[in-house]
Amino acid sequence: MSPNLNKTLNHFTATKLASLISEAQCQPSDIIRDCFKRIKLRNPKVKAWKYINESKIEQQLDYLNQVKTLSPLSGIPMAIKDNFDTKDMPTEYGTSIYPGFRPQKDTEVIKILRNAGLIFLGKTITSEFAGPYPGPTLNPHALDRTPGVSSMGSAASVADFMVPISNGTQTGGSIIRPASLCGVFGYKGSFGHITGVGIKHLKPSIDTVGHFARCLEDIELLRQVLTNDLNSNSFISIKPPIRIGICKTSNWHAASIDTKIAIKKSIESLKTTDCILEEINLPPEFDKVMERSFQVIYSWELREAHKQEIKNHFESFNPWFKWAIRFLEDISFQDYQEALEEAEYTRSILKKIFREIDVIISPSAIGEAPKELMEIPKYSFNHLWTLMYVPCVNLPYFLGANGLPVGIQVIGPQNKDKQLLSYCNEIENKMKNYFGKLPVSTIS
């Protein structure tokens, strides 16, 4: 039976639900029942889900009942972004040219999750080929605003309490920005930290896997399951971050007043602790690599990943996709190679910066979710960090002038994902001690 609680099970975090299951206070089927109630109530408005089949869920539950506990997240429901192949559910990649497509096998990360005993409720909506182009999903906090792209459905489903956790991918800002706009925790792993093997249209030099949740403990536990890095503690015992860099980047002029106040309040709270804060001014190489190299790599690998679709369906694609391909008209293979080299050189500079600091704090997005559902922001606080291969986390700790989420982004050294999440936990504790509660209004 479900525990005698004031709220339904879909409101609990994955970590709490796992504890309830282990204590025999509820069953996975109880959690799924409450998730479905929420989905049926809210999804007609939010439009987060592409595919749900309750019979497939029953099959997963039957399997789970036949085996022992597979992982700490066994029996926990999860949403899957519709660019991950699933052998038992359609994968349409956010397009109209793969209607009802049934992959023969799971993407590797889906296989890992399935073997860990997670229950896939279904596939969430993504933009066409997970590109930076809006789709039908709306922001659950304000239905006249965007949830971000391209992991829009995954972020919105967690933010609206339809499911406790979901996964996503990021090429530019497709995890961190939706997490910020929807007010949830978002984690983009270091490049390759979570396997991308088997993702059909993978851009091999940029695409990165991550996930969404409503607490940091869930983010870390899911990371542990995905990387076979399980241990008894959610966060490793390390010293809290002492040296914190504040990096506004050259796009600071585009940040809204809400974002600027969120960064200011973050600095204010951390200054009262034993942290040492310093402003990080990135050298010119960082702007240079973003002026051209990022788009060269993105477009080149986009074209390579979609050769067949471009040949047969190019005219049916969205305007952004067409522009990204046409961008290559004057780009040579040598240009592509030089872009890769410039990106790698810039990463070497960032590694030197991280020798002097523990983490970087930067904006997650321009500000609150905009009303222009078709707008693609010109400026980004995400693309650079994706290209730098470093792990990033959105902390949803602020509310803007309209009462909508505004996140801050915490960035760590490449391949120090566990450390970064531990540092984020310490930052959360310090902010809670200072503000009393989170999130905090930027107008108070």
Q: Are 186 and 214 in contact (CB under 8 A)?
A: no
C-alpha 19: how far from chain center: 24
| Helices 216-227, 108-115: crossing angle, 10 deg rounding | 100
430 is catalytic: no
Catalytic residue among 47, 50, 81, 123: 81
Q: Report the chain's terminal Cα–Cα distance, integer Å.
A: 42
Q: Give the number of other Cβ atoms within 10 Å of residue 253's Cβ.
A: 8
> In the numeric block, which tokens belong to residue 194?
């979570």
CB neighbour list of residue 17: distance below 8 Å, 6 or more residues apart? 9, 26, 31, 76, 164
Query: Which amino acid, one-letter code, is at 306?
Result: H
Measured CA to CA in angstroms, residue 38 lies from 41, 42, 197, 347 at distances of 5, 6, 33, 43
81 is catalytic: yes
How many CA within 13 A on the CB side of residue 312? 7
Q: Are 391 and 416 in contact (CB under 8 A)?
A: yes
174 is catalytic: yes
Report the candidate in 121, 31, 127 with the shortest Cα–Cα distance to residue 79: 121
Report the candidate in 18, 102, 117, 126 with the shortest Cα–Cα distance to residue 60: 117
Query: Which amino acid, one-letter code, is at 254?
Result: A
C-alpha 438: how far from chain center: 20
Catalytic residue among 150, 234, 256, 266: 150
> To which residue do tokens 């007609």 refer?
44
Catalytic residue among 151, 157, 174, 299: 174
Query: Which amino acid, one-letter code, is at 424?
Result: C
Task: Supply the residues annotated as catalytic.
Answer: 81, 150, 174
